[in-house]
Chain A
Amino acid sequence: MAPKTPLVETTNLAAVSSRVQQDDAANGENLIDRLIHQYHADVYRYGYRLSGNAADADDLAQQVFLAAYQKIDQLREVERARGWLLAITRNQFLKMYRRRRPVDSSSLEMDVNQVPEKIKKEDVDKEQLQTALDEMPEPFRTVLLMFYFEDLSYQEIADSLQLAIGTVMSRLSRAKGQLRYKLLCSEGKEIFPAAREE
């Protein structure tokens, strides 16, 4: 372990404390500016995917970075900042913006074994993707986005949402089944094997 070099020569505690507070504030401001610059698009997009609404995504982004600024001392590893900010986004969404929206009652799903051999980017419609998310029950959508957007394993999702692993696996599988059906098997695309209805 390297010997500690004296960081301050002054022996005045009040002055040291004052300087620490000033440095803390300055460091926090610099860091939050960097975080905003680097991750504002990710946070906004995640908010949009969760809420399906540009205004809510905008509000969420404001609340997330304000919260991040206030609690910047909790962020010890800058490499984990993206995950930290996305987790704040999700929690804020679940706390403030989750609301009952009409969901697609048909809940048709496509099993993984019905996924076609080759999928081209053109086969998946961007607007249909968001519509499929919007129509999904919120617990399914949250798990699905934690998987796709936050890149969390089912174990991490289970820990974070305090759910049983089996529940997470089941929700994830059903959510993906609904997404596959809506993207690959809906109107005009019934070229794949029949989907199952729950």
Chain B
Amino acid sequence: MTEDRKQMELEIDACRPGSRDADPLQLDENGRDLLRRSQEFDQLVGEMLRQGDVPGDLEARLADHVSAGPQSEETRGLLSDTVMAVVAAEGASDDAVAEVTRANQSGQDLEVPRKPRASRRLLAVSLGVVVLLTLAVIWQGAEKTGSPYLASEIADRAGRWLPRLEQQVRMPGSWSTAMGQLPSDYETDPRIIPAARQWQVFSTGLDSRAVVLDVSSQRHGTVYLVVIKTPRRYSLPSYPLRRLASTGQWSLAAWQNGDSLFVLVGGSDVQSLDHLVRSPDFG
């Protein structure tokens, strides 16, 4: 292939379908034919890439997540760094809020004595802040002293992410069978009898990167073990398992060992989950 031809193919490959990218190119008939074929392929691939199933509850969960705000300093730092790296969408802002802000910055309407009503409002806000700070200190103290959270909270939360789990485990390509690549912190509890066959990352709201292990087997049916890392302490046993709930289709059980919280999701009969656990070795 000649250098000229190679260069022409590079330039054709760089042209977006439906754009004017190809206008400056000086193509002969053969080149125009290549461009047409290339763009037909690009059009098709582009459309396919922009399609795909989206979890039905995603919009609601995103709205909840955003309204809850950042969870930690770590998250805040991370987001800030990320956005700083983004090309900012520049442009004039003509909305009323910006006008008011600019008016303030330019010094209009300044230096007017504070009215008693405003002072009262300031006092009320200050008192509110003090109360909130006090509550935060009490809450943090309670957490540090290790008051455990109720196990029922796990059942509530699991009830919220179960539909997403159901959807996610069915998505092609979402599982990894490379068990050697499973992070060691997220390994199965050795007291669970069926071995994990495959795994995938999952978000539970307690920890952004929990892992779901597929411990299904012919003998025990479809069973998933969700391994969550959390500093929270729940009133759960350290030995599997505590039965939590049954949704009709799924039964849930959980236990916690250090910062590893295990949630077992199995068949409709919650008692069947007991059969998944190795008997304690008293020898």
Contact = CB atoms under 8 A, between A and B. Distances in A.
Interface of A: 4, 7-8, 10-17, 19-20, 23-24, 27, 29, 32-33, 36-37, 40-42, 44-45, 48-49, 52-56, 58-59, 61-63, 65-71, 74-77, 80-81, 83-84, 87-88, 91-92, 95-96, 111-113, 115-119, 121, 124, 126-127, 129-131, 134, 145, 147-149, 151, 153-154, 160, 168-170, 172-173, 176-177, 179-180, 183
B87 A24 contact: no
A119 to B, nearest CB: 6
Contacts, number: 230
A11 B101 CA distance: 14
Contacts of A40: 54, 58-59, 62
Given A65-B62, A84-B88, A118-B40, 17 more contacts: A11-B109, A16-B100, A16-B109, A45-B52, A55-B202, A58-B168, A59-B203, A59-B209, A81-B89, A84-B89, A119-B41, A127-B172, A127-B173, A148-B46, A153-B14, A154-B14, A169-B14
B54 A45 contact: yes
A134 B172 CA distance: 13
A61 B79 contact: no
Interface residues of B, number: 81
B113 to A, nearest CB: 9
18 contacts: A4-B99, A7-B100, A10-B109, A14-B122, A16-B100, A20-B97, A33-B63, A53-B200, A55-B168, A58-B168, A59-B208, A63-B82, A66-B70, A71-B83, A112-B38, A113-B9, A153-B19, A168-B14
Given A151-B16, A153-B21, A66 B65 contact: yes
A55 to B, nearest CB: 4
B65 A65 contact: yes
B104 A53 contact: no
A32 B66 contact: yes
Contacts of B129: none
Given A81-B89, A95-B82, A153-B21, A14 B118 contact: yes
Contact of A70 (B19, B67, B83, B92): B83
